[in-house]
Amino acid sequence: MNAETLTPRLLLVDCEPRSQEMLDKSLARLGLHGWAVTEDADIALTDVDGVIVELDHFASPRLLEAAHAAGLPIVAMTHHQTLSQIQRARRLGATAILNKPITQHTVYTTLAMARTLRERITELETAHDRLTVQVDHQGLIARAVARIMVSADLDEAQAFERLRSDAMSRQLTLVQASERLLAQMAPVRRQGGAS
């Protein structure tokens, strides 16, 4: 992994002057570019590849929330790696902590770790969302099968086969066929209940 694939454009948030100077030197040696912002500065994150935030002088909660929502790797920088600072960094969406004093080597490895962990978290969130949709779809299919079982006096296997056949004949997915069936049968149930 070379420096340019790491995080070439970094946002340096709420860094005190000495930290800023050390970061600028380390980043320049790595061929990376950073620009400083403070106190929730209004900045577009479209040109940002990562964020380093100094916890000891933190004053930009909205900016960090936006960076976290955008899926940017966030590094929390601090003098003291205490449990409370680690928990605070985690709440802010940080995936790595950079301890002072800052060196070129620690900046590089911490940025690499933050980026790798952020990518992994994004993959897991995507997989979670996909599985949630699949579970929802299974529930929809199960309701459609149950509706067929009751209305046609069939067992579960027969009802599922009827739903599958209906889906195939109409060139629908099982989910689409289930939605269609449940939508068609819902008004009938309401009318039957009203009489």
Tokens standing for residue 102: 């800052």
Say what percent of the chain tops pLDDT 70: 91
Across the range 77-83, mean pLDDT stands at 85
Residue 24 in contact with residue 11, Cβ under 8 Å? no
What confidence score (pLDDT) does residue 154 get?
93
Cβ contacts of 135 within 8 Å, gap of 6 or more: none
pLDDT-based confidence at 187, cuts 50/70/90?
A: low
Of 87-96, 102-111, 136-145, the one with minimum mean pLDDT is 102-111
What is d(CA 137, CA 167) in angstroms, rounded to the nearest whole number? 14
Write out pLDDT tens, residues 150-169. 999 999 999 999 999 999 99
What confidence score (pLDDT) does residue 162 get?
94
- The answer on pLDDT for 191 being more than 80 is no
Tokens standing for residue 113: 């770790």
CA 14 to chain CA centroid, Å, is 24
Please tell me which residue, 63 or 189, carries the higher pLDDT value.
63
pLDDT-based confidence at 189, cuts 50/70/90?
A: very low
What confidence score (pLDDT) does residue 28 get?
84
Tokens standing for residue 29: 């040696």
- The answer on pLDDT for 7 being more than 50 is yes
What is d(CA 41, CA 51) in angstroms, rounded to the nearest whole number? 13
What confidence score (pLDDT) does residue 57 get?
85
Across the range 25-43, mean pLDDT stands at 84
Residue 92 DSSP symbol: T
Q: Mean pLDDT, the chain, as a whole number?
A: 85
What confidence score (pLDDT) does residue 174 get?
92
Amino acid letter, residue 142: A
Beta bridge partners of 50: 10
Degrees to nearest 5, angle at CA 96 with 21 and 83: 100
pLDDT-based confidence at 114, cuts 50/70/90?
A: confident
- The answer on pLDDT for 195 being more than 70 is no
What is d(CA 145, CA 163) in angstroms, rounded to the nearest whole number? 7
